Structure 1
Amino acid sequence: MNRANLLTIALVAPLAAQDYSKMKTDKVFEQLCSGCHGADLSGGQGGSLVDGEWKHGSSDDELLKSIKEGNAQLGMTPFKTVLDDRQIRSLVIFIREKEKQAKEKGMEFPKPEPGKITKTQHEDYKIEMVVEKGLKNPWAIAFLPDGRKLVTEKQGRLRVIGADGKLLDEPVQGIPKIIDHGQGGLMEVAIHPDYEKNGWIYLGFADGTKEGGETKTITAYVRGRIKDGQWVDQEWIWKADPKFYTGAGVHFGTRIVFDKGYIYFPVGERGGWQEAQDVENAKGKIYRLHDDGRVPNDNPKFDGKTPVSGLWSYGHRNPQGLDIDPRDGSIYNTEHGPRGGDELNWVQPGHNYGWPVITYGMNYDGTPITGITEKEGMDQPVIYWQPSIAACGLSFYRGDKFPKWKNDLFAGALAQQEIRRLRLVDHKVTEQEVILKNIGRVRDVTDAPDGYIYVILNGPDRIIRLVPAK
């Protein structure tokens, strides 16, 4: 037996007795890696893992291989005998998070202030306050042709901002019963493209019951009209079978877009991981219907299965961003993944987006989910974010006020409190830039008919808009 093999045995033998299977990833790193790479990953006997310099390749696959196979001549322990693929994948996520955090230390991000110019790569802007006080947990905004704006509040109120810019005290009366439960409540509001002719307004919300201490909910969609401050003419667009209602308080997933007479919207998997893979289950899906709720005849078919009504795509976790590329009609969504697994997806009919069979993330508590990031028949994300940004709100810019941003995609982020500008070419991200950061959790970002970009912030709850610096 050669010296390298003897060294490998000597390194691994003491580790085999330890059970790492139930350890969180930070503890695994502390036990196995910190002695060489430092508790803060900045280096020691082994090299730094956060300086961006990699001796044996910088891709995730190359990093996985280094952890798995080791390098006996350099004293790098192979961990394939003591860690499974799930644990090794989680170590990669952990290292990427720390690498990103180290890289961002000392970096300056655009933090806009009223009256000051914020400079970005292609456009400079100022922020203007739209609503500073009076809102509680605002979620989404929609624009009426007469200059009024509608804003949803999670607790179940549909608010109106007058054409004069003032927030009305009284919410719209008579909207459907909203269940404010966990992450769900009154979420989306959207205006029909032909609103001036038909007056239709659409809502996405947590529907269900709250009786005797037991709550059962799932996301539902309706449309109606507003007349003299009252919600009237309500029609159900989509409502799940009662068997799919659940007491879980997570992953409702809600946005609405229209295109050529169709309406698209998501329903989150509500914490039911495997249900996202079942085309006969309502959860973890994106839907396409006629704008009156009828199911199109050309929706995807699935051999041997009767898909849930309106199914367009599946394998989604918690989509809270959805928009259509004005250039070619492609649909994109952003969704909350697990820790290190937030995604931007190009949504195509009948496609499976993999959750939870494949993911680039791990559980929020640091325990592994899977070692698989790719599988035949499951789509890859256009990009994924590590660390997670808590993606929420998504909008292509269609206006003329910011010509150098035309057709760029703007993605909001709750946890990272930022807006990212993405430039897409042939369904690939060619530019990514943080244009706003650290003025609140970004719940929604959308371009508006006036050509400006409106942003809903939580903590503090307010609405701002971006206007050209000139």
Structure 2
Amino acid sequence: MKRFLLILLFINISCAQDDTTINEPQDEIYDLELIHPTKNIPWSIEFIDEKTIIYTEKRGNIFIVGENNVTELTGLPAIYERGQGGLMDIELHPNFKENNLIFLSYASGNRESGGNTAIASAELLENKLVNLKLLYKGEENTTRGQHFGSRIQIDNDGYLYFTIGDRGNRDVNPQDLKKDGGKVYRINIDGSIPDDNPFIGSDGVKKAIYSYGHRNPQGIFLHPKTGKIWTNEHGPRGGDEINIINAGKNYGWPKITYGINYIGTTITKDKALPGLEQPLYYWVPSIAPSSFEYIWSERYDGWSESLLVGSLKYMYLERLELKDGKVTYREKVAKNVGRVRDVKLSPEGLIHIAVENKGIFRLNPKNE
């Protein structure tokens, strides 16, 4: 039995892929254009249509950017801005053109007790948010200012996924199903819990939990071919991860990690343990990933089916080529552009990025 477990553990480790050498771009196939400047921190961008962007700023604002005008929305919830927390992600309902429904993630709380990540829905009517509804609020509040997670994604079946980081309490939250933090969650768009959530029949646990053992997932997307939810996860010093999320699975933090503490000390000697999921890919050293996106567009020569990951640390986009579930090539894109906070494709397949203290950029293909 012991030998069998060791074999399983070896197989588990071998499924994870470590860092590969990053390449300088061979030929820039795009022109980088600043389409909307801002001196603040744009956190998330979405598209009302090809020519109209809606985006959030961390300090607590939402703007709609058209071809010739910029409009600030009113009616937002109270935003608790502290450390890494503030107004974060925005997601449009798949039928937004019919129901005007949007979803927000934000830090909710107060200066005395602190705060935690909240998810809300609202209708966008005449540049104002109305019928604001709180769908989920992480418990308990804390004055710690890190690891709010925040990303939102609706899947093909209409379920809403979102992330909350470990909130700086790594030794408790990620592995405790009775506590929020260090989790990926799944709810219905009205805030109710799906009947087939993995822990729906367990007593005393947070029934919205879909997966656990996460540090700070700051990127999420729905794979257009498989329908699976992918996340990327901001690790400590090394150990950033890409994960494919499966119901009820434990992704290991902090029991296993490929990273170490920022001061250089050991978090754990284990990189794999039975029953704990391995990442599809991990970075050593860390790039401090924020958002990421799957490139379904054919408008960029040779980039289709790649991933684009925003690097906060190195201030570039990183393009990853995949083959048979493995990263085969890494490339720097938009070098020195700044701290990339979000990456999105427009409805017509043009890449847009939100860069802290600079604004929103578009990558215009040179071959068009």
Task: Please list the CA deviations of residues 84-143 of structure 1 after superposition, one character each: whole Å capped at 9, or x if unmatched.
Answer: xxxxxxxxxxxx99xx9xx88xx8x34xxxxxxx825xxx111122112x4411111011
Give the equivalent residue in structure 2 for 1:340: 238
User: Do the aligned partners of 2:318 and 2:332 also contact (CA within 8 Å) in 1?
Assistant: yes
Q: What corresponds to 1:232 in structure 2?
A: 130
2:109 corresponds to which residue?
A: 208
Equivalent position SS for 2:147: coil
Deviation of 1:373 after TM superposition, in Å, equals: 0.6
Question: What secondary structure, in the 3-state scheme, does the structure 1 residue paired with 2:334 have?
Answer: strand
Q: Name the structure 2 match of 1:167.
A: 70
Which residue of 286, 289, 293 maps to 1:395? Answer: 293
Q: Residue deviations 1:245-279, cap 9 Å, x none?
A: 11110000111111121111101110111210011
Letter aligned with residue 31 of structure 2 = K
Deviation at 1:418, TM superposition (A): 1.6
| 1:140 counterpart residue number | 44
- Aligned pair partner of 1:455 in 339, 353, 357: 353
Give the distance between the partners of 1:158 and 1:135, measured in 2 at CA.
Answer: 14
Q: Does 1:280 align with 2:183?
A: no
Q: 1:447: how far off?
A: 1.0
Q: Where in structure 2 are the equivalents of 1:365-404 lying within 5 Å? A: 365-402=263-300, 404=302
Find the aligned partners of 2:117 and 2:286 in 1 and give their Cα distance.
24
The alignment status of 1:271 with 2:171, answered yes or no, reads no
* Aligned residue in 1 for 2:145: 249
Are 2:204 and 1:300 aligned? no
Please give the alpha-carbon distance, in whole angstroms, between the structure 2 residues aligned to 1:397 and 1:326.
Answer: 10
- Structure 2 counterpart of 1:178: 79
CA distance in 2, matches of 1:294, 1:303: 15
SS of residue paired to 1:144: strand
Task: State the partner residue of 2:254.
Answer: 356
> TM-score, normalization: structure 1?
0.70
Query: Percentage identity across aligned positions?
Result: 38
| Higher mean C-alpha deviation, range 137-146 or range 378-387 | 137-146
Q: Structure 1, residues 392-421: CA drift from partner, whole Å, max 9, x if none? A: 011112234236322322111100112122
- The structure with the greater share of residues assigned to strand is 2
Q: Is the 8 A contact 2:163 2:183 kept in 1?
A: yes
Hey, what's the Cα distance between the residues in 2 that align with 1:439 and 1:249? 26
Task: Using the TM superposition, give the Cα deviation of residue 204 of structure 1 relative to its aligned residue in structure 2, in angstroms.
Answer: 0.6
Which 5+ residue runs of structure 2 have no aligned equivalent? 1-9, 11-17
Number of aligned positions between the proteins: 349
Matched letter for residue 468 of structure 1: P
Partner of residue 465, structure 1: 362
User: Any idea what SS the aligned residue of 2:332 has?
Assistant: strand
| Structure-2 residue corresponding to 1:150 | 54
Q: Hey, what's the Cα distance between the residues in 2 that align with 1:422 and 1:413?
A: 13
Task: Output the amino acid matched with 1:252.
Answer: F
Counterpart-to-counterpart distance in 1, 2:96 and 2:51: 13
TM-score after normalising by structure 2 = 0.89
Name the counterpart of 2:100: 199
Task: Say if 1:135 and 1:153, in contact at 8 Å, map to a contact too.
Answer: no
SS across alignment from 1:273: coil
SS in 1 for 2:49: coil
CA shift at 1:462, angstroms?
1.2
Question: For residues 299 and 427 of structure 1, what CA distance do their matches in structure 2 show?
Answer: 26
Shift in Å at residue 461 of structure 1? 2.0
Q: In structure 1, what is the equivalent of residue 90 of structure 2?
A: 189
Quick check: 1:130 aligned with 2:28? no
**Pair 424,306 (structure 1): closer, same or farther in 2 beyond 3 Å:** farther
Which structure has more relative contact order (CA 8 Å, sep 6+)? It is: 2
> Which residue type is aligned with residue 246 of structure 1?
T
Q: Is the 8 A contact 2:152 2:220 kept in 1?
A: yes
Deviation, 1:302, is 7.7
The structure richer in helix per residue is 1
Q: Which of these two proteins has the greater Rg computed from alpha carbons? A: 1
Counterpart code for 1:457: V
Contact 2:218 2:290 in 1 (8 A): yes
CA contact (8 A) 1:131 1:167 kept: no
Residues 327 and 216 from structure 1, CA distance in 2 versus in 1: closer, same or farther, beyond 3 angstroms?
Answer: same
Contact 1:320 1:391 (8 Å CA) reproduced:
yes
Flag the 1:333–1:165 CA change in 2: closer, same or farther, 3 A: farther
2:318 to 416, 420, 438: 420
